[in-house]
C-alpha cells in the first residue's frame, strides 16, 4: 500500500531569514498595506537595546502604539489589557518582538480584536477541549483578520504554530486555542536581535525546539518527510546550541538554530501530534509556573526512557542524529542538556513530589498525553514519569 497523508498549508505568507529585523519590518508592513502598526515587545529589549526604538523610527507614520512586557505563559488578563491598547489605536497590524509568550499573545490579541473579547470569560468558547478519551474538540470560528509579524528572540517555535497557549488564571491551566490562520503572516529570523536574550532562555528554548523534533521522530503518525525534517533539526541543534553556549556572539550558529526551529515545527503541517513531554510540560508551565524551555529540559529524557520499550527503533534515529549511534536516546539527550548547564530534574525547577498528583491529574486533560507512543492509561502512568524526572 502506498503512503498516505495530508500536508496542511497554514497562512504563513513569508519567512524572512538572515536580514535586519527593522528594515524587514518596514518592508513587510508596507507590503501588507498596514497603516496602524501596534508593537508588543519584550520589556528588556525595549529598555536595554536600541532595537525597539529603531523599529518605531523606521515605521514612521505607520507606527500607532506599543506595549512592553507579557508575563510568562500568556495570562488571559494580560492579553485583555494589551488588546484594549491595540483596539484604542485601531491597529491593523500586530508586531511581536520577543519570546514565545509574546508571540502567543499576539495571536490572542488578534483573536480578541476579531471577536470583541473584553472579559476573561469571553475566551472560554474558543478553547480546544480534550475529552477523557483524548479526543479534541477544536472550535470553528471566524479567524482574525488583523495580520501579525513575528520577530522571535528565542527558539520556542510558537511563531510557526497555528495554535496559541494562554493561561486561565481562574484555574491556573494553560489552554490551547487553534486555527490555521492564527499563525503570523510573516516570520522574521534575524540572529542579531537574539544576542541579548539571556543564555538560560536561549538555550532552554532550544531544548524546547529539540523536544518538538524528538517527539516528531518518535511519533507513531510521523511520515517520512516529517521525520526527515525533524532529524535534520536535531542535527542542526546538536551542533548550533553548544556553539552559542561557548560563544553567544556566533551569529552563524544562532541562525542555524533558528532554521532548526523552522524544521522542528513542520510536524504541524503533517498533523503529527506530540507526546507526554509536551503534554506534561504544558501543565508544569501553566500550573507550576516553570519556564517554557525548562519544562522540556526536565521532562524529555524521562519521557524517552518511559517510551523506550514502545519505540526503540525511532529513538535510535534520535541518538544517530546526535552522532551517538547505538546509545540510549534518553541518556544522549540528558547529557546534552547537562552540557548546556540547564536543569535536568523537577526538583531543580521547584516542583516537589507533593505536587505530582496535581500535575498528573491536570495532564490527563492535555491531548498530547493521549497520543504518546507508549499508551498512558491514567494518573499512575504519569506519576511513573514524574518520579523518573524527580
- Residue 316: Cβ within 10 Å count: 16
Place of cell 510536524: 267
Q: How far apart are CA 369 and CA 390, in angstroms?
A: 19
Q: How confident is the model at residue 2 (pLDDT cuts 50, 70, 90)?
A: low
Instruction: Dihedral sign for Cα 54, 59, 64, 66, please.
Output: negative
Residue 39, beta-bridge partner list = 66, 95
CA atoms within 13 A on the CB side of 23: 7
Torsion sign, CA atoms 33, 35, 40, 44: positive
Q: How far apart, in whole angstroms, are the C-alpha atoms of residue 351 and residue 364?
A: 18
- Give the rounded distance of the alpha carbon of 141 from its chain centre: 23
**Which DSSP category does 75 fall into?**
B
C-alpha cell at 215: 517527539
163 three-class SS? strand
Quote the cell numbers at residue 235. Answer: 542535527
| 101-142 tens-digit pLDDT | 999 999 999 999 999 999 999 999 999 988 777 778 888 999
Pick the closest to residue 49 from 25, 28, 70, 22 (CA basis). 22
- At 179-238, the pLDDT tens digits run 999 999 999 999 999 999 999 999 999 999 999 999 999 999 888 888 999 999 999 999
359 compared with 136, residue with greater pLDDT? 359
Q: Smallest Cα–Cα separation from 133: which of 341, 383, 369?
A: 369
Write out pLDDT tens, residues 147-172. Answer: 999 999 999 999 999 999 999 989 88
What is the pLDDT, as a whole number, of residue 10?
78
149: β partners: 95, 186
What would the mean pLDDT of 348-372 be, rounded to a whole number?
A: 94
Q: By the 8 A CB rule, do 95 and 55 touch?
A: yes
Query: What does the pLDDT average to over 59-79?
Result: 95
pLDDT band at 369 (very low <50, low <70, confident <90, very high): very high
Domains identified in the chain and CATH numbers: 14-192 (3.40.50.1970), 198-389 (1.20.1090.10)
Residues 6+ apart with CB under 8 A from 311: 218, 220, 373, 374
Q: In this predicted structure, what is the pLDDT of residue 130? A: 80
Cβ neighbours around 145 below 10 Å, total: 10
- pLDDT at residue 3, as a whole number: 62
Amino acid at each position: 500500500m502506498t503512503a498516505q497523508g495530508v500536508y496542511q498549508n497554514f497562512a504563513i505568507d513569508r519567512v524572512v531569514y538572515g536580514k535586519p529585523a527593522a528594515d524587514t519590518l518596514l518592508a513587510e508592513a508596507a507590503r501588507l498595506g498596514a497603516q496602524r502598526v501596534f508593537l508588543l515587545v519584550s520589556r528588556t529589549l525595549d529598555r536595554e537595546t536600541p532595537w525597539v526604538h529603531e523599529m518605531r523610527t523606521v515605521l514612521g507614520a505607520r507606527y500607532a502604539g506599543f506595549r512592553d512586557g507579557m508575563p510568562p505563559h500568556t495570562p488571559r488578563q494580560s492579553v485583555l489589557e494589551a488588546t484594549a491598547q491595540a483596539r484604542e489605536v485601531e491597529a491593523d497590524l500586530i508586531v511581536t518582538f520577543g519570546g514565545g509568550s509574546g508571540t502567543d499573545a499576539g495571536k490572542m490579541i488578534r483573536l480578541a480584536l476579531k471577536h470583541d473579547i473584553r472579559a476573561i470569560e469571553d475566551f472560554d468558547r474558543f478553547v480546544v477541549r480534550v475529552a477523557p478519551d483524548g479526543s479534541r474538540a477544536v472550535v470553528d470560528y471566524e479567524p482574525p483578520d488583523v495580520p501579525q509579524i513575528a520577530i522571535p528572540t528565542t527558539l520556542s517555535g510558537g511563531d510557526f504554530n497555528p495554535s496559541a497557549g494562554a493561561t486561565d488564571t481562574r484555574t491556573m491551566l494553560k489552554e490551547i486555542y487553534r486555527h490555521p490562520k492564527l499563525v503570523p503572516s510573516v516570520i522574521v529570523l534575524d540572529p542579531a536581535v537574539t544576542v541579548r536574550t539571556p543564555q538560560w532562555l536561549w538555550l532552554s528554548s532550544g531544548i524546547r525546539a529539540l523536544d518538538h523534533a524528538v517527539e516528531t521522530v518518535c511519533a507513531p503518525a510521523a511520515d517520512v518527510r516529517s521525520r526527515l525534517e525533524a532529524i535534520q533539526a536535531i542535527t542542526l541543534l546538536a551542533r548550533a546550541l553548544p556553539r552559542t553556549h561557548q560563544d553567544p556572539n556566533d551569529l552563524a550558529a544562532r541562525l542555524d538554530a533558528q532554521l532548526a526551529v523552522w524544521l522542528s515545527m513542520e510536524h504541524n503541517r503533517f498533523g503529527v501530534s506530540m507526546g507526554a513531554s509536551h503534554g506534561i510540560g504544558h501543565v508544569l508551565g501553566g500550573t507550576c509556573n516553570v519556564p517554557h524551555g525548562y519544562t522540556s529540559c526536565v521532562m524529555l529524557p524521562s519521557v524517552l526512557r518511559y517510551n523506550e520499550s514502545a519505540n526503540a527503533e525511532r529513538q535510535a534515529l534520535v541518538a544517530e542524529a546526535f552522532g551517538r549511534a547505538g546509545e540510549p536516546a534518553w541518556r544522549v539527550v540528558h547529557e546534552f542538556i547537562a552540557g548546556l548547564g540547564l536543569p535536568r530534574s523537577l526538583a531543580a525547577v521547584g516542583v516537589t513530589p507533593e505536587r505530582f498528583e496535581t500535575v498528573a491529574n491536570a495532564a490527563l486533560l492535555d491531548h498530547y498525553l493521549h497520543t504518546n507512543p507508549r499508551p498512558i492509561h491514567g494518573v499512575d502512568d504519569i506519576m511513573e514519569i514524574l518520579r523518573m524526572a524527580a
